[in-house]
Amino acid sequence: MACIEVNKAAEPNSLMIRIDFDQRDAMIEDAPQKYYLKDHYASYPAVLVRLSHITEAELRDLLNASWRFVTSMKKGKKF
């Protein structure tokens, strides 16, 4: 669902969060200072989050959205 960035292309102090591709693209377009993507993660339904640019409430909402996304995959939704 979420983890500390592990690929060296990701910026330090980032979190990788699983989210669907459409939502990821919209987030990056709306707030590129908070959300970004590196080539390593492009084929995964995930977004990178700059933790220093996101509020606790935004992170909570994002983790809830990720939970819904991940649990929907168990119900047969394929990505």
Residues β-bridged to residue 15: 4, 49
What's the rounded Cα separation, in Å, for the pair 75 and 73?
5
**Which of helix, strand or coil describes residue 15?**
strand
- 28 pLDDT higher than 60: yes
45 inside domain: yes
Domain that holds residue 18: 2-74
Rounded to two decimals, what is the model's pTM?
A: 0.88
- Share of residues in the chain with pLDDT > 70 (%): 92
User: Span 26-32, mean pLDDT?
Assistant: 98
79 inside domain: no
Number of domain units in the chain: 1
**What is the Cα gyration radius of the chain?**
12
- 78 pLDDT higher than 60: no
59 inside domain: yes
